[in-house]
Chains A and B, each alone.
Chain A
């Protein structure tokens, strides 16, 4: 079961990574990156690192990707997406670098890294973090929610078109 899940998720991750590199449209690439980050988060989940998975989704797939998409939409004008690459010569470098990477992969596979066992309930897992959040750091936790509410109200006030 876990094996099958791993295979599906890993295939998804690799496919979306390929899509990210191969698509010409930057926005499509960004969307593939979202899928890739999400499937890596799912991989973390299968390994028992729930907190890491959640942070991966919230920080990378959430916040950082929004910034990425925003930057792409604002900065890249339409033509440059499809124009000729002015530095085509550099592409020749891809061959030796790719060969080096393939060699590394081969060595790693031959060295035989076994399957990674799911981590036990270590400090840093979601349970330990939650335990701290709701006991020792209860006040800062609640205070953060007030802070976010204030920030949200403030942003709405400043961004609203009607004065």
Chain B
């Protein structure tokens, strides 16, 4: 038997993910200690892991690395996405500390699963091979399926988990089938080699069907219409902190992976997927916003709002070039701050023996807790896209990229939708400031970590809104490695 020639293993590019997964292992071990340790300690370890991964990611900025025979591509694009993901996950961990103690089981496994899921997201954004992409997607999704059903005493949580799991497994099988067909057409699963093999035969039926199935799988993960049905139920049933993670981190990771696959491996089929995504973007925006108007549950409202925002981001994917994906990256950053903040306010509020999730619960909040009401108001205004908040700048870059690429009508649909969306966001603001509550209404549950998370998110949206240029330039530059 010939000895096994071990290939060189470059740990460097894997370091941020390893830190997160290592923290997950540590959290599991801490949970096993004979004398129970405080959940604050466990949460701190989880937070330290995420901050460590964030620092490790930032330290690698400008030093792109490939490892494991190009299966892992940690270029600036992946680094940017990883920063967004780590930030979102860290905010979620901070929001979880007191929220979980109040509402659910105090288990270390929660934090371990959040970290596992985050590790999967980071790998997803850096996957240079369809096999790694699939495994990372599964790591992310499996952990989220479980987290969604964490409050198993409640029927809605079990429904959310079950629905998410079954539909998610279904969507993943579509993705896997697409990967198999693309492998069949090109003989490789490596993204760069797929691009080389597919050059000049964009209309190979295997390739076209594979592309379509791939888009179905991704469409589910980013909850674009017509694969959005799960989102409202899951967002509503899952613990609010987990909902924040699903809405920010998993979306950022899946969109980053989608962009990488489309722009590198399937660049030859660009006319095909651009047309397809044009339609999907237009329908997703419109359906998300129109249905959101009718919602009275704040979590469902934010679910439909997040569907609409995926529609906006798809505009950037359609626009292509370096401006489009760059605008999407920047938008992901602003969106992560804004959405994590909005869900964060929900985790800090409660009413008698229950979570405060109805819009009516927030009536008169401004009188009782002016700071909290102002925070939620700012997050909602940023979601509307009112200057000088981050949401406005993000949308501006997206629409500008679309106009410059010649997709004027798509930009117009986007602007009309933003105006439509203002109605339901502002309705919540009106409730908070101009209505009197029926009964007790929501009240604030003080939480140091949660308050800190909200403060960070607030600073983020104001900072990104006032001086967006440096961050937007970074996002634009990060896309460059994909376009080589």
Contact = CB atoms under 8 A, between A and B. Distances in A.
A143 B139 contact: yes
Interface in B258-278: none
Size bracket, chain A contacts:
20 to 34
In the A-B complex, the 6 residue pairs with the closest CB atoms: A154-B146, A139-B68, A150-B116, A143-B135, A157-B109, A139-B71
Contacts of A149: 116
B149 A150 contact: no
6 contacts: A135-B5, A138-B7, A139-B71, A139-B132, A157-B110, A158-B149
Interface string A119-152: 0000000010011001111111001101101110
B138 A154 contact: no
A135 B123 CA distance: 19
A55 interface: no
A134 to B, nearest CB: 6
A153 B112 contact: yes
Interface residues of B, number: 41
A116 interface: no
A131 B4 contact: yes
Given A147-B138, A157-B113, 15 more contacts: A130-B4, A135-B4, A138-B7, A138-B9, A139-B67, A139-B68, A140-B71, A140-B132, A143-B136, A149-B116, A150-B143, A153-B113, A157-B109, A163-B105, A163-B153
Interface of A: 127, 130-131, 134-140, 143-144, 146-147, 149-151, 153-158, 163
Contact of B119 (A138, A146, A156): A146
Interface of B (DSSP majority class): helix
A151 B116 CA distance: 10
Interface centre among A137, A150, A157 (most CB of B within 10 A): A150
Contacts of A158: 146, 149, 152, 161
B145 interface: yes
- Residue among A144, A146, A158 with the highest chain B CB neighbour number at 10 A: A146
Interface in B32-72: 67-69, 71-72
Contacts of A134: 4, 6
Nearest to B69: A136
